[in-house]
Amino acid sequence: MTQYLAAPATGTATATGTPATGDRPGWWRDAVIYQVYPRSFADGNGDGMGDLAGIRSRLPYLAGLGVDAVWLSPFYASPQADAGYDVADYRAIDPMFGDLHDADALIRDAHDLGLRIIVDLVPNHSSDQHEWFQRALREGPGSPLRDRYHFRPGKGEHGEEPPNDWESIFGGPAWTRTKNPDGSHGEWYLHLFAPEQPDFNWNNQAVRDEFRSVLRFWLDMGVDGFRIDVAHGLVKADGLPDMGHGEQLKLLGNQVLPFFDQDGVHEIYRSWRKILEEYGGDRIGVAEAWTPSAERTALYLRPDELHQAFNFHYLNAEWDAAGLRQVIDESLDSMRPVGAATTWVLSNHDVVRHLTRLGGSADRARAATLLMLALPGSAYVYQGEELGLPEVLDLPDEVRQDPSFFKNNGQDGMRDGCRVPIPWTAEGPSYGFGTGGSWLPQPEQWAGLSIESQTGDPGSTLELYRRTLAVRRDHPDLGAGDAVEWLDAPEGVLAFRRGAFTCTVNTNAEPVELATVPGQALLSSGDYDGSGALPADTTVWWTA
């Protein structure tokens, strides 16, 4: 076994002997959760596409990295019109990723290593190849099966215009016209994303029953929780009113829209919470909820709803001390009334990798990570960020697969650049991703960023993540609580206390002299030399 696969000395403990947070009640409150994007993590059968066998074989790496849980993006049976977020069968694995035996083995191995498994649930829409949608199409207008989706006659004399003015997040109208079984023009159906992703009608009882059953299916398989895709979108405003045309909408911004963040969604999560509790063992629901404000996000996390929500307000923050302080305070303040743990995230499969997004500097990306991991609550790490991978900006058009790339408005269409398979070794056909190629080309420079290349190099980003996660585990007070104590700091510097720790972040492009050195430097994201001067774009953790 190569060195990068080495597991910690005991399955559920780090090298220093601290139990994984996964063993503790309320484990999610300060958990570090690692996102695996199955296509791009590890390829077990050499076909150039990641799969469950590949993930399973590399679980020891994740246990050794020191994360508490793994969130897997969708692996269900899917035509892959949106990289698996178009599900044709919620109870089957896509053959490209393996089968249910592989899923079972993966979950068991993860648990043996002290890792929790969170799967992605996609309840806002199915694939257009889902049996329900295909039957609804076949049966034609008036069929009760059509009520499981949003079918509507078109506007205009011949029904040639969409039923309302809603736009797809991927660009273009959110409606597609069907053909009747006899070939004539038929009704339209709603899809907030690609046309291959028809939206479910959550006012239909069969839809509600089906998803409760799907939840149970995966809970019976042993999963520890669900990341809920488009959790804010399930319920649409009564009558599907127009959204009103304005300037180009930023659909993932903070507008109030008739198809997002409707109050009716909460009832659904209350019913799901009951199921999660029935199963015991601290299983969690995590909302992907784009809402107009942190206060609206907190509503999903009331004690009888979900456990966590991604903090997109934090992800969107710029590298600016005052702005970061504000979003940190707002995030913590908004969660306190509902008693939920705040989460922090810098990268995922939908956004430009944070190294590139924050300006392209590896120093800054590492400083941002060390700040995130010093904050109270739970943090999400996206595969490859621990290697300091940049966004791949020069993918040729012909290899791109992101459906939004093929539209000329809507989401930026550049999501393939963060989905390039990660490098494991310095050599080999796909840098150890698998024995074959890679479904998206990997830049040559990634050889030097591979897990193999960085392992054992104390100056590497990977070793920084390993050290930081080990310190976090050894000092549970770092992730605990719901507040930070801000300290006076020079312009462009954040300084705060967390229990016995102090964290200082210099967001300036120049070194800054600290008036007082806060203690003994424990970890530094850059080349801190022990003097009073904090280097540019550097975070340091101190102990008293």
Active site amino acids: 229, 278
Residue nearer to ligand GLC on the CB measure, 43 or 229: 229
> Measured between alpha carbons, how far is 17 from 117 in angstroms, rounded to an integer?
22
CA dihedral 79→83→84→86, nearest 10 degrees, is -70
| Phi-psi sector, 475: left (phi>0), alpha (psi -120 to 50), beta | beta
Where does 373-519 show beta strands of DSSP type E? Answer: 378-382, 485-486, 493-498, 501-506, 512-513
> What is the nearest approach in angstroms of ligand GLC to the Cβ of residue 344?
17
> Measured between alpha carbons, how far is 404 from 170 in angstroms, rounded to an integer?
5
> What is the nearest approach in angstroms of ligand GLC to the Cβ of residue 229?
5
- Cβ–Cβ under 8 Å, residues 266 and 305: yes
Residue nearer to ligand GLC on the CB measure, 383 or 507: 383
Residue nearest to ligand GLC (CB): 85
Interacting positions 86-125 with ligand GLC (CB under 6 A): 122
| Phi-psi sector, 230: left (phi>0), alpha (psi -120 to 50), beta | left
- Per-residue three-class SS string for 168-200: CCCCCECEEEEECCCCCEEEEEECCCCCCCCEE
Which residue in the set 4, 37, 149, 193 belongs to the binding site for ligand GLC (CB under 6 A)?
193
Interacting positions 268-297 with ligand GLC (CB under 6 A): 288
Q: Is 435 exposed, middle or buried (0-12, 13-18, 19+ CB in 10 A)?
A: middle
Binding-site residue total for ligand GLC (CB under 6 A)? 9
- Three-state SS at 111: helix
> Measured between alpha carbons, how far is 466 from 455 in angstroms, rounded to an integer?
10
> What is the nearest approach in angstroms of ligand GLC to the Cβ of residue 417?
14
Residue nearer to ligand GLC on the CB measure, 85 or 272: 85
> What is the nearest approach in angstroms of ligand GLC to the Cβ of residue 36?
14
**Rg (alpha carbons) of the chain, rounded to whole number:** 23
Residue nearer to ligand GLC on the CB measure, 96 or 523: 96
Interacting positions 162-191 with ligand GLC (CB under 6 A): none
Residue nearer to ligand GLC on the CB measure, 230 or 341: 230
- Three-state SS at 239: coil
- Cβ–Cβ under 8 Å, residues 512 and 495: no
The upper half-sphere exposure of residue 88, i.e. CA atoms within 13 Å in the direction of its Cβ, equals 16
Q: Which two tokens stand for residue 410?
A: 């809507």
> What is the nearest approach in angstroms of ligand GLC to the Cβ of residue 259?
13
Q: Please, what is the angle between helix 461-474 and helix 362-372, to 10°? A: 10
85 binds ligand GLC (CB under 6 A): yes
> What is the nearest approach in angstroms of ligand GLC to the Cβ of residue 173?
17
> Measured between alpha carbons, how far is 70 from 33 in angstroms, rounded to an integer?
6
Residue nearer to ligand GLC on the CB measure, 30 or 391: 391
> Measured between alpha carbons, how far is 389 from 449 in angstroms, rounded to an integer?
7
> What is the nearest approach in angstroms of ligand GLC to the Cβ of residue 128?
13
What residues have CB less than 8 Å from 473, skipping those under 6 apart? 14, 16, 18, 20, 21, 66
Residue nearer to ligand GLC on the CB measure, 200 or 528: 200
> x-or-dash pattern for ligand GLC, window 41-80, by CB under 6 A?
----------------------------------------
The upper half-sphere exposure of residue 540, i.e. CA atoms within 13 Å in the direction of its Cβ, equals 26
Interacting positions 351-410 with ligand GLC (CB under 6 A): none
Residue nearer to ligand GLC on the CB measure, 93 or 370: 93
The upper half-sphere exposure of residue 350, i.e. CA atoms within 13 Å in the direction of its Cβ, equals 17
What residues have CB less than 8 Å from 174, skipping those under 6 apart? 162, 166, 167, 168, 190, 191, 192, 259
> What is the nearest approach in angstroms of ligand GLC to the Cβ of residue 349?
6
> Measured between alpha carbons, how far is 216 from 438 in angstroms, rounded to an integer?
35
> x-or-dash pattern for ligand GLC, window 219-258, by CB under 6 A?
----------xx----------------------------
Question: In whole angstroms, what separates CA 12 from the centre of its chain?
Answer: 24
> What is the nearest approach in angstroms of ligand GLC to the Cβ of residue 73?
7
Residue nearer to ligand GLC on the CB measure, 305 or 350: 350
> What is the nearest approach in angstroms of ligand GLC to the Cβ of residue 257?
15
Residue nearer to ligand GLC on the CB measure, 169 or 505: 169
Name the residue with tokens 């621990």: 386
- Cβ–Cβ under 8 Å, residues 394 and 401: no
Residue nearer to ligand GLC on the CB measure, 187 or 288: 288
What residues have CB less than 8 Å from 222, skipping those under 6 apart? 104, 107, 108, 111, 117
> What is the nearest approach in angstroms of ligand GLC to the Cβ of residue 479?
25
> Interface residues with ligand GLC (CB under 6 A)?
82, 85, 122, 193, 229-230, 288, 349-350
